[in-house]
Structure 1
Amino acid sequence: MTFRPGKTLHFMKALFLTCMIAVSGTAYGQSASVDSFTVSRLFSEGAVLQRNAVVPVWGTAPSGTSVTITFDSMVQEAEAGPDGTWRGTLEPRDAGGPHTLTISAGDRTLDIQDVWFGDVWIASGQSNMEWTVANSADAENEIRSANDPHIRHFKVPRSWAYAPEPTLAGGEWHSTDSSHVGQFSAVGYYFARSLRTSVDIPVGILNISWGGSRIEAWLEPDALMMPPEEIARRLNEHKESGEERTNHQPTLLYNKMIHPLLSFPITGFLWYQGESNAGNPEDAGRYAMQFQSLISSWRNAWGNDAAPFLFVSLAGFRAAPLEPGDSNWALMRESQSAALTLPHVGQAITIDIGEADDIHPRNKQDVGLRLSLAARHLAYAEDLVYSGPIHRDHVVEGDRVILSFDHTGSGLVARGSSQPGGFSIAGPDGRFVWADARIDGETVVVSSDSVETPVAVRYAWADNPDRANLYNEEGLPAAPFRTDR
């Protein structure tokens, strides 16, 4: 599956950019004076380009400059326009390589070696996506044994702008070896490594992450569901405050880290973010619409509404609860899972691999593996169990609740125990207590001696639901849920 670029400038965005003149002093799209010949950093030695897609190639040069693009036997001419930009295209190619891309203008010639065609995945979010292999579990052995030259990684530098900009702040491609893999996104790398056990083509990871970032920073104006004047007000306040907490401000990371990539074809998206939006119930609840808006807007920006979008549901964190109660992180997981109503969206449940005292769990191997299972199904049409059990419906029979699930695989199991844990139940008074639970075929039966008339059940409803142990036989954990939404 391949996704091609395409972007619509809506009225709200135009109005927003007009407001932004007061912030940045310059409106995006004005003619620029360009006095040097450049090629986008995406086209550098070791690049992975999207297979089976028309791939634009672009850069800058003085207006009117002729640019020659040579690739294999293809020779193409382009000319820099009044704004100092030039653009050509590479015709679709099957996976493989290496190739050499030669681009020349005047007396300047760039020979870009070791170019491959494969599948390109964007890996974005906050610190758990930015977290490096060097800081992951068993890092020393992982780095020493890394030797797959067909996994390539490109880190987009942390950067931001008040209005959309066409050029990346930097970045370069690196192949997987012990000299470079330590600085790769651990989730991105372990995803690609797991994926390549079944998909024998080059995989490129575009790592576009910034620790501590809120989702608002990754959204374009149209997707924020916020009046343009409110966006402009917040950004003016940001500028006047000395530009603090840039990674929390609406649009700023999108403008400089996402927008310059929109012409670069990709296969799909990986997303690990949400911690910075889970600080209170309002933010956690609002995230459901924000996240779905981000998915839809990014897909639209790249020109395909069916681009696979795979996300990580927040891992367990903080002390485990002694009694059932409310949880902002559980609300966030619920908001994240609401995106499964969109087509071609998959999740990796990670409540079982968190660390109570560290918001950055070191086990990124299982995160990458679970994302790769979803990719194999959603992007590569493999028939496999790719998700843990997900609550489908329930019925109340007397003093018990019978829960049914999708994605049960070869059957439901209670890992490490004879009975499933992590369930709580409430009667008409709304007070939740720990419940007894048992597996009955493809269902779970939940009850409590202290609740005669049950009205609601919750599972894994805590920041760190350490009692939760419901899995399918394939070893994938059940997703948290509640019936009292």
Structure 2
Amino acid sequence: MTIKSGDSELRIVDILVGEVWICGGQSNMAWTMRGSTNADIEISAANFPEIRFLKLPNVASPREQDDFPLGKPTDWIGKWQKAVAPEVQNCSAVAYYFARRLHRQLKVPVGIIENSWGGTMAQHWCNKNTLKQIPEMAEDIKKFDEKYQAWIDGGKEEGAQKRLAKDLADWEKKSAEAKAKGEKEPRKPNANQYKNPGDGRQPAGMFNGSLLPIANTTIKGILFYQGENNSFGTSWKPFYRTFPAVISDWRKAFKDPEIPFGIVQIAGWSNRRSMQYDMNHHCNVVREIQMDTWLNTTNTGLIATYDTNSNGSIHPGHKLPVGERSARWALSEVYKIKRFGSNDPLEWKGPLFREAKFESGKAFVTFEEGTDRGLRLDQDVDVGFVLAGKDKIFHHAKARITQSKKDKRPQVEIWCDEVKEPVAVRYAFSNLPIGGLMNAREIPAYPFRSDNWPMTPHQSTGSYIRRVK
């Protein structure tokens, strides 16, 4: 393409027209091919020049922005790259596998705009006006505003550097005195504490600085992988409002109330085996809110990932299944692709809990029609199921696939010797879930619980109460 103005001429080459998706969230979306499972063969084998990816710079701002600061000309961040070796090593692994499947199926160029920032929470990706309407966010907004104003009143960057220099000089003096006396030396001032708070993680900061500058871009849809940092401490408390707000605020920013929005449900993490059965952990709260957001928000999808973690890390290396499952959702719901050799929709959901009935000391669980085809337990291993009686104490249970007498559809029959009269059943409902329940496409069942009992997450004040079902 050539653009002329008077005697000036600008020529742009290597232009593609295709499908553009935004892949956003936090570190599991930012996780590159370089750090993912099978990187040694996937990177060298990548040869998809019609898949392009653009990693946006991490920019936060207390005020709405319409552009990004320019980076170095040699920096790959902020510059379109091709999904070929070795460039692809810098691409988000989830985004790459997602785009690769779309490209293979649709046979058109695919562009990925990766807009993720490790350690961010849902409230960082919302409009500040939205956050002001959420009571649980009032204190966080107040603290940031006061900290940012203090930095401005203190002389901004120049004032901060002067304070740091003075504090370092004082520290050196006190450190020398303590050392001479054989006493413990004081902690050295951390230079990060003197930086502009407006450049870091903050309420609405990433929405202002990282999303709004691209809001005029024409995109097909959004894939969002975030929630881990809302599972720490008490950060789960506003999540039931802030996570749905991410979807509505992004849709408003792009001026499209129905833009497809894929939700990647967070994986499990912990190297402590006991956490596999910890049902009061914040991760359960986050996953359940992600589930409820999906069920109550049009044109969205939910991708289960709890089975992708084999090493207990908060950053599972197995990104291929995440990208492939996400692509299944997009191909089925957004592009209306049918199953090969059939006019039926492409399957993308795992078994989705419908109801639980309790009879003769057992629980009988059925799933939404269309998600239970070929329902089975992987290698007949019945782990992940727990039952509780009226005492609300859960015990590990046995399970098998049977057939409903009513409609002849598959169901899971669950029982436990310790619970003679069960009233509640849960599956894969823990910090680090384990379970092998899946359908014919080997898509894992979504974690579920039949009860709505309040939970008190660790390190928290107050209980989590499910607000929608």
Please say if 1:172 is aligned against 2:79. yes
Q: CA deviation at 1:105?
A: 5.0
Instruction: Show the counterpart of 1:114.
Output: 14
Please say if 1:216 is aligned against 2:123. yes
Change beyond 3 A, Cα 1:339–1:446? same
> Contact 1:217/1:247 (CA < 8 Å) preserved in 2?
no
Alignment of 1:22-171 (within 5 A): 100=1, 102-104=2-4, 108-170=8-70, 171=78
Q: CA deviation at 1:110?
A: 2.6
> Contact 2:98/2:326 (CA < 8 Å) preserved in 1?
yes
TM-score (norm 1): 0.75
Instruction: Show the counterpart of 2:376.
Output: 413
Instruction: Show the counterpart of 1:483.
Output: 450
Provide the rounded CA distance (Å) in 1 between the counterparts of 2:283 and 2:141: 30
Provide the rounded CA distance (Å) in 2 between the counterparts of 1:115 and 1:438: 55
Match of 2:324 among 369, 375, 390: 369
Match of 1:251 among 204, 207, 211: 204
Please say if 1:330 is aligned against 2:298. no
Please say if 1:348 is aligned against 2:303. yes
Q: CA deviation at 1:325?
A: 3.6
Q: CA deviation at 1:345?
A: 1.0
Provide the rounded CA distance (Å) in 1 between the counterparts of 2:141 and 2:305: 37
For 1:342, what is the secondary structure of its paired residue?
coil
Q: Equivalent pairs: percent with the same residue? A: 34
Instruction: Show the counterpart of 1:191.
Output: 98
| Cα displacement string for residues 266-318 of structure 1 (whole angstroms, at most 9, x for unaligned residues) | 000011111100013x5335323211111112112212222111121111211
Provide the rounded CA distance (Å) in 2 between the counterparts of 1:404 and 1:229: 41
Provide the rounded CA distance (Å) in 2 between the counterparts of 1:301 and 1:446: 46
For 1:346, what is the secondary structure of its paired residue?
strand
Provide the rounded CA distance (Å) in 2 between the counterparts of 1:291 and 1:334: 12
Change beyond 3 A, Cα 1:463–1:145? same
Change beyond 3 A, Cα 1:260–1:279? same
> Contact 1:223/1:294 (CA < 8 Å) preserved in 2?
no
Please say if 1:295 is aligned against 2:258. no
Instruction: Show the counterpart of 2:144.
Output: 235
Instruction: Show the counterpart of 1:72.
Output: none
Change beyond 3 A, Cα 1:175–1:214? same
Bigger helix share: 2
Provide the rounded CA distance (Å) in 1 between the counterparts of 2:97 and 2:277: 36
> Contact 1:152/1:173 (CA < 8 Å) preserved in 2?
yes
- Bigger Cα displacement from structure 2, 302-311 vs 201-210: 302-311
> Contact 1:390/1:405 (CA < 8 Å) preserved in 2?
yes
| Cα displacement string for residues 178-198 of structure 1 (whole angstroms, at most 9, x for unaligned residues) | 131000111111100012221
Instruction: Show the counterpart of 1:398.
Output: 360
Q: CA deviation at 1:323?
A: 5.1
> Contact 2:279/2:431 (CA < 8 Å) preserved in 1?
no
Structure 2: runs of 5 or more not aligned: 71-77, 152-192, 338-344, 404-409, 453-469
Q: CA deviation at 1:452?
A: 2.0
Provide the rounded CA distance (Å) in 2 between the counterparts of 1:226 and 1:324: 29
TM-score (norm 2): 0.77
> Contact 2:36/2:319 (CA < 8 Å) preserved in 1?
yes
Instruction: Show the counterpart of 2:406.
Output: none
Provide the rounded CA distance (Å) in 1 between the counterparts of 2:240 and 2:249: 14
Provide the rounded CA distance (Å) in 2 between the counterparts of 1:287 and 1:279: 11
Match of 2:389 among 427, 445, 451: 427
> Contact 2:123/2:243 (CA < 8 Å) preserved in 1?
no
